[in-house]
Every structure is written in structure tokens, then in C-alpha cells.
Amino acid sequence: MKDKIEIALAQISSKRESKEANFQKIEKLTIKAKEQGADLVIFPEMSLTGYVVHDQVYELAETIPGPTVEKAEMLAKKTGVHIIFGMPELSEKTQATVFNTAVFVGPQGLIGKYRKMYLPTHSVFEEKRYFRPGYQAAVFQTDLGNVGLCICYDIFFPEVLRLIRLKGAQLIVCISASPAVRRSYFETLTCARAIENTAYVAYVNLAGVQDGLQFWGGSRLVSPNGDVLAKAKYDEEDFLTCEVDFSDLRTAETFIPALRDLRPELFDKLKEYAERL
Amino acid sequence: MKLTPFVFEVDFSETQQRICRFIKEYVENAGAKGIVLGLSGGIDSATIAALSSLAIGGKNVLALMLPEEENFSQKDIDDAKAVADRFQLETSICDTTEVMKCFYKQIPVFDPKDRLCKGNVKARTRMVYLYYYANKFNRIVCGSSDKSETMMGYFTKWGDAAADITPILDLYKTQVRKLALHLGIPEELALKPSTPALWPAQMAETELGIKYETLDLILYGLERFMTTGEIANQLKIEKSTVETVKRRWLSNEHKRRMPIALKLGYRTVGIDFRLPRHTY
């Protein structure tokens, strides 16, 4: 595990239903990430297909591993850069069960995947209509360090990121497709989740307009004490690299020892009262 | 939640930027050569004209002025021309009088005293002109409906609301006025009383029976699931006024959606056929 890594936040606007065009963009920006010395490049939720695809999701979804992930593995191997991106995943066991998934590949191949647990189905969102939720928090021990994955609406649920952190993640990656009216929520929550878990949070959002939804961009790296270390432009495509220094975790944890002060018995109470809501 | 005019204060620079990006991206992705819009001399179309010009350049925006004898207003024409000059739009004036007269003459049951039916012919005729120019010159029609009139159903079905994009549809009238001022549209025009121009001296607020300042706050409350009682209490108005607005809002959903179909098949247009709107 490295003490410091360089990560790239690839805030792209995806072309809807065009996996080929979007993968070309992923390829181009991964090469750019390598040129700028990045160890890891992160793309937004559903960046392979676009977010607003409705019924077309059944045609677009692929198994993992599958054709696109194999191409991503080749790209990671060729560049030596780790890649995280979002795509609709087709279950290997059925023909129309789809997950909203984050894929993590590295130079050695597929590291893992995370299936979104909290599927927004309100306002402009209809994810439960199309996706089956995931059931597993995802943390991967890699050459880069312990990396946890979550997707967009998951960040509204502190228990998801807490679980990721307790499983050992020091860098929590949240890929997102968040429309503009929700900006202030995410700007607050990314900082809150970083502070309460004393972990780095890398948030990468889509940009551009899809079917009248303007994705607000604003991707960022937040330090374990809540500082926004790097921030991409609002609304437009952007690309930037920034440093994750894992040695800062100790300083943050000693200053606000939120993990040391956890009270597990309260979690039983949470369960009890959540069931009664 | 407090219902005060403050709720309509947004960052209009950001709103302008977002709308302009939306217009530009849509026109580019559609492969269109530009925009056609109807420029009436009113606040909504002036705002749309300004935003379109800022998004794609005035030379790519064709503003059609579509006067007719019965509703003719030199003041409206002058206001429309002033906006076109200020935002360097391409313009064309088409007198629609003879087309309207032809309709009146050829419809067997035409009743000149029924001003609503007659007025709707005007709105739909203007739509025909806009789409003719759009088809002919590979442009898209940019509509100027706002949230207040859309929620109230205060428009002609398949008439003035017909468009390919409606960039200010999610802004209440009071917000449109503020955005217009932000864009540099003269105050006199920004605050000019609205009219759908279906018959002479028709005024929106008179016909709706309520000032936009109050109406918009009622609609804002309804949008956020407030009860009619809560809204009436906060605004210190009769509950029946709020209920009238709510009834009108709900009863006009048919004007805001695709025509209703009977579900007979596996997937049905307008019901559960959910496809992304493509612009390429």
C-alpha cells in the first residue's frame, strides 16, 4: 500500500445509449490520467451508457465480467492506471435483472464491483423500476490502499459509508448522477461523510444535460477533516488530478476520534426503531 | 415553510447559464440550424428570445411576429422589435389575418360570438406558422410557456404551448419577470401585463381572477404538498381562492400530457413505454 496516491476525477458528459462513444472518452481520459501521473481515474455513475436511458437499460446492460469490462481491464493493463466507472450490470443468472453497478479494474484485471444499495425512486428518479438493489458493501484491498465504493443516493445513508469505513476503506469513492437541484445536499453530505468517518471521500458526478436533467458536476476530493481539496467545475465536463495522502488519516482521527468513540450498542437501537418507522 | 416573495429569489446568473447551455446543447444535438420562436411583444417570448440569442447567437434565432387585424397592437410590435434589435435576432412579420378569416369562413359551425373557440384558432394558427418555418429551415421551435400558466392550464391545447423545447417552463411568472430584468429587458416590458392575445383587451390576470404575485405563491405551496388551509393561512386569503386554483391545476393535467390511451398491449405509448428523448 502506498502512503500517497494521485487520483483523477473525470467529470464527463455521457452520450446516452452510446457505449462505444463513452468508452472512447473513458479511454482517452485514462491515457490523460496516466500522462498526469494518476494511479486511479474515476468516472461517474452510469457513465458507460448515460443515466437517463429508461427502458433501453435492458439492451445496454452487460454482465461483469463482460465485453466492456474486458476492454476496461485491457486499458488498465496497458496504462497501469486503476479505473472506476459506472454501468448497468446484467445478472449472469437471469435475462432481465439489472443492477446499477460501479466497476473497479486495475492493471492486474477486475478488482471488484459494487451494486448500488439505495435506489432512488422519487421525484425524477425511477431506479427501483429498473434495478435490483445490491446487498453488499464494497471495500477492496489494492496496491493503492483500501478503497470503498458507493453510488450517489447511498451517500444520504450514513450507515452505508460507516460500514464501508468499518470494513477498512480509507478512500471512499462515490460515483454519481446528480441533477442540479440537489447540489447543496451533496456538497454538504460529501463533507459530512468524510468527517464522521475520518476518511477521504472522492465524489465524481456527471455533467451535461440528459432529457432535461442538468447534471451539476462539481466533483471533488474531500479530506478526512472535511476540507475540499479539489473541486471540478459546475455543470460542464472537467478533469483534474489531486493527491490522497493516507498519512493525514492519523492526524484527523486523533483530532476528532469519531471511530474510537463509536457506540455499537446504539446500532441495535437503530435497527429496532427503523423497523418500527 | 414560509410563503413569501423571497422563495422566488434564485441566482439568476446561474439560471441564465443553465438555460443557455440547455438550449445550445439541444440545438447542436438535434443537428438544427437554429431556433424559431414567436415574438409577441410580451414578457415570456421576450425572455425566451433573449436567452436563445445568448445561447446560440441572434443570427441563429428567427423571431416571427404574427399579428392579426382583430388583436393588432402597434405597441406590441414595437416592443417585439425593440427586443429583436437589442438581441440582434433575425425577424419576420407575417400578417395572419387572412388565414384566420379563411378558417372562420370555412368551418361550417363557426360562431363568431364564441370568442374562446375563435381565439384558440388564432393560437393554433400561430403554431402552424412556427412549425412551417421550423420544417422549412431545419430549426426547432422554442416555446415560451412558464410554470404559472402551465400549472393553471392557461394556454391553448396544441396551440401556444406546442414547441420542441420550453426552457422557462419551470419558472413562475414572477421569476420570469426577474430573469427578464436580469437579462437587460427594459422594466416597462418586464412588468407589462400578460395577455394570450386570443381576443382584444384580454388580460391574463383579469381572466385568471388573481394577481400573479399571489397565484405564484399558491402554486409554489401546492408544488410542495402544502394543504390549501396552510396556504390560505399564510397568505391571509380565503381558503376557497386556494381551492379554486388547486381544482384548476388538477383538472388541466390533460393539457400537459400526451393524449390518453387505453392500455391494450405489452408496452403502451404515453403509459409505460419509457424511452429517452433523443436529439440525434
Contact A235 B275 (CB under 8 A): no
DSSP state of A156: G
Question: Is the CB of A18 inside 8 Å of chain B's CB atoms?
Answer: no
Contacts of A77 (CB under 8 A, 6+ apart): A107, A108, A109
pLDDT of residue B276: 86
Q: Is the pLDDT of residue B195 over 90?
A: no
Interface of B with A (CB under 8 A): 17-18, 21-22, 25-26, 267, 273-278
Contact present, A82 and A111 (Cβ < 8 Å):
yes
Please state, rounded to an integer, the average pLDDT across all residues of chain A: 96
State the pTM of this model. 0.91
pLDDT of residue B94: 97
Please state, rounded to an integer, the average pLDDT across all residues of chain B: 95
DSSP state of A172: E
**Count helices and strands in chain B by DSSP H and E runs:** 13, 4
pLDDT digits (tens, 9 = 90+) for B75-127: 999 999 999 999 999 999 999 999 999 999 999 999 999 999 999 999 999 99
Active-site residues of B, by number, are: 44, 149
CA separation for the pair B123, B158 (Å, rounded): 8
Using alpha carbons, list the distances in angstroms from residue B198 to A112, B48, B253. 63, 20, 22
Q: Is the pLDDT of residue A161 over 70?
A: yes
Which of these, A10, A55, A17, lies nearest to A207 by C-alpha position?
A: A10
Residue B138 CB coordination number (10 Å): 11
Contact B275 A50 (CB under 8 A): no
Long-range contacts of A249-257 (CB under 8 A, 24+ apart): A249/A170, A249/A198, A249/A199, A249/A200, A249/A224, A251/A225, A252/A198, A252/A223, A252/A224, A252/A225, A253/A198, A253/A224, A255/A225, A256/A195, A256/A198, A256/A225
Burial class (CB in 10 A: 0-12, 13-18, 19+), B83: buried
Q: What is the DSSP string of A87-111?
A: EEEE-SSSSS-EEEEEEEEETTEEE
Q: What are phi and psi of B224, to 5 degrees?
A: -100, 25
CA separation for the pair B150, B256 (Å, rounded): 7
pLDDT digits (tens, 9 = 90+) for A107-148: 999 999 999 999 999 999 999 999 999 999 999 999 999 999
Question: Is the CB of A62 inside 8 Å of chain B's CB atoms?
Answer: no
Which of these, A33, A12, A28, lies nearest to A242 by C-alpha position?
A: A33
Contact present, B245 and B220 (Cβ < 8 Å):
no
**Helix, strand, coil share of chain B (percent; to 5):** 55, 5, 40
Contact A52 B18 (CB under 8 A): no
Contact present, A41 and A240 (Cβ < 8 Å):
no
pLDDT digits (tens, 9 = 90+) for B139-181: 999 999 999 999 999 999 999 999 999 999 999 999 999 999 9
pLDDT digits (tens, 9 = 90+) for A54-82: 999 999 999 999 999 999 999 999 999 99
Contact B21 A235 (CB under 8 A): yes
Contact A52 B278 (CB under 8 A): no
**Average pLDDT, integer, range A2-28:** 96
pLDDT of residue A122: 94
Contact present, B57 and B45 (Cβ < 8 Å):
no
Using alpha carbons, list the distances in angstroms from residue B135 to B8, B35, B129, B141, B162. 37, 11, 10, 9, 14
Q: Band the pLDDT of A181: cuts 50, 70, 90.
A: confident
Q: Which CATH number fits domain B5-203: 3.40.50.10190, 3.30.70.20, 3.40.50.620, 4.10.95.10?
A: 3.40.50.620
Using alpha carbons, list the distances in angstroms from residue A201 to A3, A174, A277, B143, B180. 16, 7, 30, 42, 40
Hey, of B19, B21, B28, B145, which one would you mutate to test binding to chain A, going by the most A CBs within 10 A of its CB? B21
Active-site residues of A, by number, are: 45, 116, 152
User: Chain B contacts of A54, Cβ < 8 Å?
Assistant: 274-276
Distance from the Cα of residue A105 to its chain's centroid: 13
pLDDT of residue B38: 98
pLDDT of residue B279: 56
Question: Is the CB of A54 inside 8 Å of chain B's CB atoms?
Answer: yes
Task: Please tell me the least confidently modeled range out of A80-84, B67-71, B93-97, B215-219.
Answer: B67-71
Count Cα atoms within 13 angstroms, Cβ side, for A164.
34
**Domain A4-276 in CATH 3.60.110.10:** yes
CA separation for the pair A204, A43 (Å, rounded): 6
Q: Provide the edge-to-edge strand list for the sheet that holds A138-142.
A: A138-142, A145-151, A171-176, A200-205, A220-222, A228-231
